[in-house]
């Protein structure tokens, strides 16, 4: 890979919440927001605001057009066949729960099986456990990892049977940064007649996702990890699946006709968007996608790959530092220091103006697999550069001196 000029590709100036001298390395938790997204949110609340899908007055009609344009933007970003395949939700967690409580309840029966992996976020574990408990007799299988922290698809192929009705896997690990071969995972699931859901939270801001190329059945992501606002995300699903799924919440907007005797439902995606939606969040997400695509996902990915390479090289030269995940991780470096709790690492780094994540990262089964209680995690975005890596390495050296 060609050498990346991190100073040239960094877009730090676009992010007003990152002052000079502060090194924000927690993008995997939530990305900072560029000024264009902040401006879009400010404009929506301060100048253009009105409800959607209800008013006959001009501003409401204009806001409805803008809201649905955001849905179309998400569909284009994912290369969906239609905007009607995109459901707005609060985030990936809600999207996975939606699938579990609609498609899952309608489809799974005692004796069926679900395949997850060892590295899944709690949001892609707990909803399936709750579903299995609700139905009874549904089993969850766990695919192991390769030695460098990737989902072992050879093992998955050996494990899958016709009893499996769903496979649910992370496109990019939020702890290890390892990238799933999503196309192969989809082929393996479909070979036994199972559907597959891909958790794209860490993938969409780093490598992108083409749902038609992948061939998956469900794809979910959260807007706040894509440089957009919190409280907005998307569920993409094949149209025929959405059409067959029952609603999971009742209220306004998701109905066709209501009587006390019977209620009929609106078509998808409105059927799954009960109540007043996060209008401004959708518009902010639209602006975030525009921002990311203006830069170009290949540029962002190359920038983050260079940062990961530099960070791993710097940390591997420090005694007692243990690195996790593959060398080519997507934007994420998790590590531990022998004899030092990650919370102490995070606290000492914070004193030096370096912000990282320390903990189990909502992936406790993965921590159990690694035989550690927690890790420290540095995760990068388009606003980071070589100075951030240098500050991280300097801070880690200070940690090792303090703890001897």
- pLDDT tens, the chain, 404 aa long: 456 777 778 899 999 999 999 999 999 999 999 999 999 999 999 999 999 998 889 999 999 999 999 999 999 999 999 999 999 999 999 999 999 999 999 999 999 999 999 999 999 999 999 999 999 999 999 999 999 999 999 999 999 999 999 999 999 999 999 999 999 999 999 999 999 999 999 999 999 999 999 999 999 999 999 999 999 999 999 999 999 999 999 998 898 999 999 999 999 999 999 999 999 999 999 999 999 999 999 999 999 999 999 999 999 999 899 999 999 999 999 999 999 999 999 999 999 999 999 999 999 999 999 999 999 999 999 999 999 999 999 999 999 999 97
CB-neighbour burial class of residue 51 (10 A; exposed 0-12, middle 13-18, buried 19+): middle
* Alpha helices, H only, 79-198: 92-99, 105-107, 126-135, 153-159, 182-191
Res 55: pLDDT: 81
CA-closest candidate to residue 97, choices 59, 124, 58, 135: 124
Look up 216 and say whether it is catalytic: no
- Domains of the chain, CATH where assigned: 6-32+296-402 (3.90.1150.10), 38-293 (3.40.640.10)
Distances (CA, A) of 163 to 131, 140, 358: 16, 11, 38
Res 267: pLDDT: 93
What does the block give as tokens for 173? 């690990």
Active-site position among 143, 201, 216, 362: 362
Res 379: pLDDT: 98
Q: Contact, 233 vs 92, CB < 8 A? A: yes
Res 8: pLDDT: 77
Res 3: pLDDT: 65
């Amino acid at each position: 890979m060609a050498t990346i000029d991190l100073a040239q590709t960094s877009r730090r100036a676009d992010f007003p919440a990152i002052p000079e001298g502060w090194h924000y390395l927690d993008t995997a938790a939530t990305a900072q927001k560029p000024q264009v997204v902040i401006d879009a949110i400010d404009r929506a609340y301060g100048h253009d605001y009105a409800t959607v899908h209800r008013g006959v007055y001009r501003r409401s009609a204009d806001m409805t057009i803008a809201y649905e344009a955001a849905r179309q933007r998400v569909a284009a970003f994912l290369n969906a066949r239609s905007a009607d395949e995109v459901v707005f939700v609060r985030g990936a967690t809600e999207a996975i729960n939606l699938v579990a409580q609609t498609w899952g309840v309608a489809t799974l029966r005692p004796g069926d099986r679900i395949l997850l992996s060892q590295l899944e976020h709690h949001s892609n574990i707990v909803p399936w456990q709750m579903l299995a408990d609700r139905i009874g007799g549904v089993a969850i299988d766990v695919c192991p990892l390769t030695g460098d922290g990737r989902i072992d698809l050879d093992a998955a192929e050996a494990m899958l049977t016709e009893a499996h009705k769903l496979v649910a896997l992370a496109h990019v690990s939020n702890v290890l940064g390892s990238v799933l071969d999503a196309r192969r995972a989809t082929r393996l699931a479909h070979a036994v007649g199972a559907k597959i859901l891909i958790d794209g939270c860490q993938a969409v801001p780093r490598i992108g996702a083409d749902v038609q190329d992948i061939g998956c059945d469900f794809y979910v992501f959260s807007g706040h990890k894509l440089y957009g606002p919190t409280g907005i995300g998307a569920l993409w699903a094949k149209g025929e699946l959405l059409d067959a799924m029952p609603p999971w919440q009742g209220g306004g907007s998701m109905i066709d006709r209501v009587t006390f005797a019977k209620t009929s439902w609106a078509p998808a995606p409105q059927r799954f968007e009960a109540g007043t939606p996060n209008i401004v969040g959708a518009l902010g997400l639209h602006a975030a996608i525009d921002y990311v695509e203006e830069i170009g996902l290949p540029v962002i990915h190359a920038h983050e790959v260079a940062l990961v390479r530099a960070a791993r090289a710097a940390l591997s030269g420090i005694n007692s530092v243990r690195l996790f995940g593959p060398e080519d991780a997507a934007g994420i470096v998790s590590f531990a220091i022998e004899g030092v709790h990650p919370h102490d690492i995070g606290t000492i780094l914070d004193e030096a103006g370096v912000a990282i994540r320390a903990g189990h990262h909502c992936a406790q089964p993965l921590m159990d697999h690694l035989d550690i209680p927690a890790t420290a995690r540095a995760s990068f975005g388009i606003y980071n550069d070589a100075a951030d890596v240098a500050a991280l390495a300097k801070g880690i050296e200070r940690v090792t001196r303090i703890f001897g």
